[in-house]
Structure 1
C-alpha cells in the first residue's frame, strides 16, 4: 500500500491558505475603512470649504481678502500670535526645565495647572478671564486705578490666546528632557561651562525638534482660538474681531463665500507653519551630511 503525500498534506495546506487569504482581506478592509473615515471627516469637508471659497470665482475670493474687515481681523490675529507664541515658548521652556530637572513639592500640581487648558472648555477659560478682569471682576479696582482695560480689547484677546496655547511647548519638551537625562549637562558644567552656555550648547540642541513641534502647535492653536476670544472680545467688527470670529460672523450673516475664503486663509497659515518645519528639518539634515 502506497501513501500519497500530496493527499496527506492538502487538507492541512488548504486551510492555511484560506486563513492567510482571510487575513489579507482583513488588512485591506481595515485600510479602506481608515481611508474612508479620513475622507468623510477631513478630505471631503476641506474640499467643500475650498469649493465654497471660490464659489464666486477668483474675484469674489480676492474681494473678501481685500475687504477692510478681513484685513483688520488678519492684523489682530497676527498681533495676538506675535504676543502669545513667544511668551508661551519662554514659559514652556522654563516650566519644562523646572519640572524635568527639579524635585519639589507641588510638582504634580504645577503639571495639572499646565494641563488645565486641555481639560476645560475655551468658553469656560474666557469666562474665567472675564471674572478676573471684567467690570465686575476681582481685579477691576486695580485695573481702574491704573486706567487699563483688559476685557473687550486687545489685551483680553492676547490673554485668551496665551491661555489656550500654554501647555504645548512644555508638554512636548518635558518628555525629551527626562529621556536625555542630565549627564551631558553635568559634563559641560564640569568642563567650566556656565549655566547659560550649557543651555545654549547642550540642552537646546537636544530638545530642538520637540521645541519646534511645540511652537508649531502653539502657533496653530493661537491662530485657531475661538471660544475664549468670543467671550472676552465682544466681536466688534474692525476692532476686536479675529479671523476665527470673522468666519463665524460672515457665516451667520449668510456670507458663506467670505467665511469659506477666510477659512482657506487660516488653513494656508497652518500649512505654512508645517512647511517651515519641513524646511528646517531639511536644512539641519543637510548640514549634518555636510559635516
Structure 2
C-alpha cells in the first residue's frame, strides 16, 4: 500500500494582501455629517419644505377660516365623491388584491408573466395618459361608444368615470403586497391543510387569508391613499364638473384657478390630516408584518 504523504501547508500568495484595519473603519465624523446633511437637506427641500409653506399660509389666515370654506355645497360634494371613491377602492382592491395575488403566485397559466407585468402598468404610465386612453375607448366616438349608447350607459364625465380611473391607478398595490407574501410563505401550510382533508375554500379562509391579511390591509391602505390624491385620471375622465364630478383634488385645482385660495388651503389641510392618519396606520401594519415574518422564520432558522 502506498503511504499517504502529508500535503504541504498552503501559503497565501504574495499578491493576496490582508485587509488593513483602516479600510474597515466606519466613515469619519465629517463624512457622516456631510452625508446626513445632504440627505436631510434633500428631504427637507422636497418633502418638508412645501408642506411647511402650506401650513404657514394656513396658519396666517387661521385654521378655522380655512376649514369654514369647506361648508360650501360644492366643497361638500367634492368631499363626498372622494369618500365614495375611497370606499369603492377599499372594497374592490381588497377582493382583487387577494384573488389576483393568489392567481398570479399559486397558479400557472399561459401568459402569466405578461399579466403580472401588466399589473404594474399603472405605476409606469402617466394618469393623464390613462384618462386619455379611457376616453378613446369609452368616450364619445370611442371604440366601445356604439355599444354603450345602445344600452344607454354613459361613463365619461360621470361619477363612474371617476371610479374607472381610480381603480386603474390603484390596481397594483394590493396585488403586489399579497404576491410578495405568498411567494415568501411557500405552499407548505396550504398543502398540509389539503392533505388533512380541507377543501380549497376552507384552505383559503383558515390558512391563506390569515397569512396574507396584514399584507392585504397594507396594500389596500396604500391604494386608498393613492386614490385620495389622484388628480390626472379623474380630471380627464370626470371633467371636474362643479357639483357633479369634482373630487377633493380637482376642487383644490379649481379653487386655485378661481383665486379662492382659502378654500384650496382648507381642502389641502383636510387631505393632509387624512393622509397622515393613513400613513400612521400603514407604519403600524408594516411593523406588525415584520414581527409576523420574524416569528414565521424563527423556528426554521433554529431548526437549521
TM-score under structure 2 length normalisation: 0.82
The residue aligned with 2:50 is 45
Aligned to 2:72, which of 61, 67, 73?
67
The residue aligned with 2:159 is 154
Distance 1:241 1:86 in 2: 22
SS in 2 for 1:103: coil
The residue aligned with 1:249 is 254
Distance 1:48 1:199 in 2: 49
Deviations 1:191-218 (A, max 9, x none): 1222122112211222222212201110
CA offset at residue 281 of structure 1?
7.7
The residue aligned with 1:288 is none
**Would the alpha carbon gap of residues 178 and 134 (structure 1) be closer, same or farther in structure 2, given more than 3 Å must change?**
same
Listed as ranges, the matches of 1:127-276 within 5 Å are 127-276=132-281
The residue aligned with 2:87 is 82
CA offset at residue 52 of structure 1?
2.1
**Would the alpha carbon gap of residues 167 and 280 (structure 1) be closer, same or farther in structure 2, given more than 3 Å must change?**
closer
SS in 2 for 1:55: helix
**Would the alpha carbon gap of residues 214 and 21 (structure 1) be closer, same or farther in structure 2, given more than 3 Å must change?**
closer
Deviations 1:208-261 (A, max 9, x none): 222122011100111111101110111111111000001111111122222122
CA offset at residue 277 of structure 1?
4.3
The residue aligned with 1:123 is 128
TM-score under structure 1 length normalisation: 0.86
More helix by proportion, 1 or 2? 1
Contact 1:50 1:261 in 2 (8 A): no
RMSD of aligned Cα (Å): 2.2
CA offset at residue 280 of structure 1?
6.4
Contact 1:84 1:222 in 2 (8 A): yes
Displacement over 4 Å in runs of 4+: 19-22, 277-285
Distance 2:73 2:237 in 1: 22
Contact 2:67 2:263 in 1 (8 A): no
Distance 2:190 2:147 in 1: 44
Distance 2:49 2:30 in 1: 26
SS in 1 for 2:28: helix
SS in 1 for 2:175: helix
